[in-house]
Amino acid sequence: MSRIVIALGGNALGNNPEEQKELVKVPAKKIAELVKAGHEVIVGHGNGPQVGMIFNAFVSANSVNAKSPLVPLPEAGAMSQGYIGYHMVNAITNAFHEEGLDDKEVMYILTQTLVDANDPAFKNPTKPIGPFFATREAAEAANPNSVIVEDAGRGYRKVVASPKPLNFVGINQIEKSINAGATVIVGGGGGIPTVKDENGFINGVDGVIDKDFALAKMAVLAKADFFIVLTAVDYVKVNYGKPDQKDLKEVNKAELLQYISENQFAPGSMLPKVQAAIKFVEEGGKAAFIGDLKDLEDIIAGKIGTKVTLN
């Protein structure tokens, strides 16, 4: 059987904890079925709605009570990983029980993703985070030592960098857990951006790492056979919405790069998923797939979804 890394979108987990507890049962059942079939599964998830909820809540609390602390983005990211992980471990463990897999265990590993402190993204932060403010002064007061921009007439907002993932704190122990038979949940939200200084000490920094890029890197380092990006479409499409719209069923790196040069994929939506798939096969993965969560077993079987290969 195969070692598979699955990237699950944060929007698939709902907008609040109660929704999330219910929605996470869907991927949990799919994961249990894969494990029952003999696959090793590593799963990661987005956390955009969740970390936004946490970050905004602390800003709101501080606005009415100065004694309520502002919480930095890395800490908000860690909080989101913790509560998403709690729900995912429960849901997958329960799904294992339903499948008669009581000997199987799930681990959630809070993930810090190592990035280059000199990554060019830090010089040009573009990812918005947190609430809007009516004035720049109010935004700066609520976001100390941050880059603030005016956002399309809607107010002022904090923006952060999106550096590229290089490695993960504790990667050897993550791989040992997988090798020991655990189903591992890792790389939540792309991980907390973490830099290492010249003396070898690590520290979390403001930033948002694309979760698909992070999990593609995790798939390479964990020696996965396949990398699967789950989204809300059955296939990646070109000429989207036009009479000649086409589903991409099997596509290689060169073909995808041509489509990228034609601006076929929307930035911030399908483009990073395609780029992450390319990165995985470039670095030695057998194949990457992009498809819908409901079709997970059929994606692995090659019956649906876009399959990406190097050649």
Report the distance separating Cα 27 and Cα 15, nearest Å: 16
211 in catalytic set? yes
Please answer whether residues 155 and 138 qualify as being in contact, where contact means their C-beta atoms are separated by less than 8 angstroms. Answer: no
**273 noted as active-site residue:** yes
Burial 234-259 (b: 16+ CB within 10 A, else e): bbbbbeeeeeeeeebeebebeebeeb
d(CA 47, CA 80): 7
From the list 25, 36, 127, 294, the catalytic residue is 127
- 57 φ, ψ (degrees, to nearest 5): -65, -40
Considering the candidates 104, 158, 273, 307, report the single residue annotated as catalytic. Answer: 273
Q: From the candidates 211, 217, 279, 307, which is the catalytic residue?
A: 211
Tokens of 168: 């993960």
Active-site residue, 10 included:
yes
Report CA Rg, the chain.
20
E strand or H helix at 293: none
Residues 6+ away with beta carbon under 8 Å from 67:
none
The 8-class DSSP code of residue 37 comes to: T
Q: Which of 11, 56, 62, 167 is catalytic?
A: 11
Annotated catalytic residue, options 9, 10, 77, 191: 10
User: Is 127 annotated as catalytic?
Assistant: yes
Residues serving a catalytic function are 10-11, 127, 211, 273
